[in-house]
Amino acid sequence: MVPSEALQYRGIIQLLLHFKWKWVGLYAIDNEGGDQFLQTMEEMLLQNGICSAFTERAQTHLRLSDSIQEMLYHKQSTLPVFMQSNANAVVIYGESASITWLGAVIGGIKISQILFLQNKRLSTAKVWITTAQIDFTLYPIQTITDMDRHMFHGAISFTIHSKEIEDFQKFLQLVNPSWENEDGFIKYFWEQAFSCSLSNSFIYGRCTGEEMLESLPAPYFEMSMTGHSYSIYNAAYALANALHILQSAGLKRSARESSNRMVPQNVEPWQLHSILHKISFNNTAGDEIALDEHGELAAGFDITNLVTFPNKSYVRVQVGRLDPPGKVLTIDEDRIEWHRGLTQVPPLSVCNDICRPGYGKKKKEGKSFCCYACAPCPDGMISNEKDEETCVSCPEDQYPNRGQDQCIPKMPNFLAFGDTLAIVSTSSALLLSLLTAVVLGIFIKHRDTAIVKANNRSLTYILLISLLFCFLCSLMFIGKPNEVTCLLRQTAFGIIFCVSISSILAKTASVLLAFMATKPGSRMRKWVGKRLAYSIILFCSNIQVGICSLWLAMFPPFPDRDTHTMMDQIVLLCNEGSVTMFYSVLGFMGFLAIVCFTVAFVARKLPDSFNEAKFITFSMLVFCSVWLTFIPTYLSTRGKDMALVEIFSILASSAGLLGCIFTPKCYIIVVRPELNKKEHLIVKKK
């Protein structure tokens, strides 16, 4: 007539987990039942990440008549364990004798503290968790040891569910020692409870028989229906119902053949087994009493809190319940009265201090897994709760704060138009574009002058227009990357620059061939002319267009996010799709620049009238220097700085070409127009 003990074990584990008590003491009676309890509980504790701080056994042979000296002897092994342990939660398993024994130990300790340990303050402030088998029968031990009856104040107990039975109080008021013939226990109980004797005694006064049970304080006798009494009540009713069913059935054959009436004295126990196993009825309190498939009461436990008072009385306050269907523990923390000696409520019961947020657990060698050190979370990881087992990484779009106890959203990182460097870059690009347009306008206006004609004006127009677009294409590297800009920025830059360098190469080759064609009998005359220059531009540009087309067809660039490079920012960038194709574009452009530089270097000593090669040589030297510096700088930067490096390289190299090649010409056209004449060139030639 009691619920499953396995259910009670699971309830204890749920209670420990509810209050996060990971370091608990175990007390069990020193018998076979205690062995079974310890074996089961220690396995369940381990499975749920809880450790037993100590394990003690309650003496079964200690009788109430033992002397104070014997109690002091038993406390010697107990004092260092539970009174010096930092485990604030202690689970007690056994019967009422376990509480009696523990109370005797505490009482002995109190006496020894007075006699021998005056300078050592000892505390019994614990959360005692007791099983349903234990009842707080405190009277006998108080009479012997004067123990601290408040040590169990705040105890949390699993108790068998009970209800008040009608007329039970009236029944207790009628109990009288005159019932001795029907109840042999009542004489012993009456003398112990009222400290009197029902026979002649020189030690105690004689009992009058008019003593009232309701006058006894709760530690001596409870007038309410306890869980144990309720179980006995239900057992008696179950047996009565079984006998009634058996008698109603009459056992048919047995009833007809037997000459005796069907009375309890004639019933064998085995005849009731099958009936009791299937029995189900409602008792007078309205509770349904039924057994499960294992023959155990299909009911749960009440969770009660023991509250003691100075007048030696106490009450049990129900603070929760453990229901069997889902085996779920419900508890109302606000109703719990904790031990007055505890410094924190609910109290902690852990091996060491709880790790603060921002720290993770680090195992101590040679110690239980419940004992650990607190180590700061590694970089990039957090713990946002107290006593976290391990630190965890933030989501990709977040990063840890300085305390590493929460994740903060990462800010997007890209070269926005509102950034200072973006404004400078935009202004520079537009200014250089305007300057290029002015130069182009000057050359168009003075297209019929000697210096413009001498420098192949059609190639000059192509070069200036391509430089204009070079400056403007740098603007595609500013702003949040999108599909269009990602597809165009590198390919447009590669093709436009290729046209520019091809134009310079065509101009240089034209100058060199023109000089070589002036020699008598030279076969180079058939190569001189615009046709060769245009062929060079188309041939080189088509190769670059082919590389870019293959790149866009097979590995098109796309907008991407880099969440790993920068801890506190998300880099919004254009994924090039293929690094090989990207460097192929740069490589071909570099190859053209080297060829152009070589040709110009060879032609640098030509006569003055043809000596544009000197300026081209210097411009290509600037161009190559910029882009050779670009590669290591680009690879070593991250985020929006990569875009800035490429913008600077585009503007610097384009400005180098514009300045080195066209500054001398513009100077002559605008400032020294008298030198811009054919006669002057002829004179220079001579």
pLDDT, one tens digit per residue, over 547-569 is: 999 999 999 999 999 888 888 88
What phi-psi label fits residue 577: left (phi over 0), alpha (psi between -120 and 50 degrees) or beta?
Answer: left
Does residue 472 carry a pLDDT above 70? yes
Rounded mean pLDDT, 419-432 = 94
Does residue 608 carry a pLDDT above 70? no
**pLDDT for 249-274, tens place per residue?**
765 545 455 545 555 556 777 777 87
Nearest to 450 by CA among 213, 567, 610: 610
Rounded mean pLDDT, 17-44 = 89
Rounded mean pLDDT, 506-518 = 71
Max mean pLDDT among 184-193, 389-398, 598-607, 642-651 falls in 642-651
Three-state DSSP state, 317: strand
**pLDDT for 136-190, tens place per residue?**
554 444 444 444 567 788 889 898 888 888 888 888 888 877 776 666 678 878 8
Q: Which residue type is seen at 22? A: K
So what's the pLDDT on residue 264? 57
Which of the four pLDDT bands, split at 50, 70 and 90, describes residue 118?
very low
Which of the four pLDDT bands, split at 50, 70 and 90, describes residue 516?
low
Q: What does the DSSP 8-state code read for residue 605?
A: G
Rounded mean pLDDT, 455-483 = 90
Rounded mean pLDDT, 47-71 = 68
So what's the pLDDT on residue 325? 66
So what's the pLDDT on residue 367? 80
Q: Which residue type is seen at 440? A: L
E strand or H helix at 564? none
Report how far residue 372's alpha carbon sits from residue 374's, in angstroms, rounded to the nearest whole number.
7
Torsion sign, CA atoms 513, 519, 520, 521: negative
Lookup: tokens for 154: 């705040």
E strand or H helix at 585? helix 579-602
**pLDDT averaged over the chain?**
80
pTM of the model: 0.61
Higher-confidence residue of 450 and 412: namely 412
Q: 288-292, 359-363, 433-437, 552-556 — which is least confidently predicted?
A: 288-292
Does residue 79 carry a pLDDT above 60? no
Report how far residue 262's alpha carbon sits from residue 273's, in angstroms, rounded to the nearest whole number.
17
Rounded mean pLDDT, 369-395 = 87
Percent of the chain whose pLDDT exceeds 70: 80
What phi-psi label fits residue 669: left (phi over 0), alpha (psi between -120 and 50 degrees) or beta?
Answer: alpha
Rounded mean pLDDT, 317-321 = 90
Lookup: tokens for 365: 């060698």
Report how far residue 450's alpha carbon sits from residue 448's, in angstroms, rounded to the nearest whole number.
7
Which of the four pLDDT bands, split at 50, 70 and 90, describes residue 441?
very high
Which of the four pLDDT bands, split at 50, 70 and 90, describes residue 68?
very low
So what's the pLDDT on residue 296? 78
So what's the pLDDT on residue 122? 55
Nearest to 102 by CA among 143, 147, 36: 147
So what's the pLDDT on residue 292? 75
Torsion sign, CA atoms 67, 73, 76, 82: negative
Report how far residue 598's alpha carbon sits from residue 358's, in angstroms, rounded to the nearest whole number.
62
So what's the pLDDT on residue 440? 93
Higher-confidence residue of 506 and 67: namely 506
So what's the pLDDT on residue 484? 92
So what's the pLDDT on residue 459? 87
